[in-house]
Homo-oligomer: A and B are copies of this chain.
Amino acid sequence: MPTPDRTSLADIVAAARQILESEGLPGLTMQAVAQRVGVRAPSLYKRVRNRDDLIRLVTEATVHDLGEQLTVAGSGDPGRDLAELAHAFRAFAHAQPAGYHLIFTSGPADTRPSLDILTRATAPALRLAAELAGPEHALSAARMFTAWANGFISMELAGAFNLGGDLDEAFAFGIDRLTAALTTLDPPRPSFDTGRTPGTTPPRHGRQPRPAE
């Protein structure tokens, strides 16, 4: 005779995410999760293959939330949008540092999120990169932006910036220089030049596109 379920996969993942943020990955034990959802550890294996599987589910849920956070307005000014995207990225990482770290860290294959969920989360960056740098350089430009933003945030969270100075300033500096570097690639395309607020992005130089090497 079936009795009503005492927990659910959603409960388990939610509990795991809370434990991850408060106790870190080593504290994310099956027993801790079980206790929080009100069952014994063996019961978790009805919903989850093993601990690595649970870590993957936590990572994917976090990627999904990140993707939602990164859906920027589309103001018509790609430079401003890129800055907004960068700040949203960083704010998310500050809000759930352990979950963020899980997304971009390498680990056992079973813990890695599926590719298409990652792709969906980075779509806004790709779209903005195409607007800024032109379709030809969109992929490389998006990778440059994502690498920089993720690298900055990871090092910030890891405490790897140890020379003092203002990190907010360094972050703003990066956004500014990155926007300039990606914007100068192609001559102005008028269709994206409407609605720009003066002074928010550096002027375009109209240089010839450089070979991608």
Closest 8 CB pairs of A and B: A151-B151, A181-B181, A147-B151, A147-B152, A140-B173, A177-B181, A106-B158, A148-B148
Check if A15 is an interface residue, CB within 8 A of chain B. Answer: no
- Among A108, A158, A160, A165, chain B packs the most CB atoms within 10 A around the CB of A160
In Å, the complex CA distance between A128 and B26 comes to 38
A174 touches B144 (CB 8 A): yes
Chain B hits for A106, CB < 8 A: 97, 101, 154, 157-159
In Å, the complex CA distance between A210 and B169 comes to 13
Query: A142 to nearest B CB, angstroms?
Result: 8
Residue of B nearest to A26 (CB): B108
Chain B hits for A177, CB < 8 A: 141, 144, 181-182, 185
B118 touches A160 (CB 8 A): yes
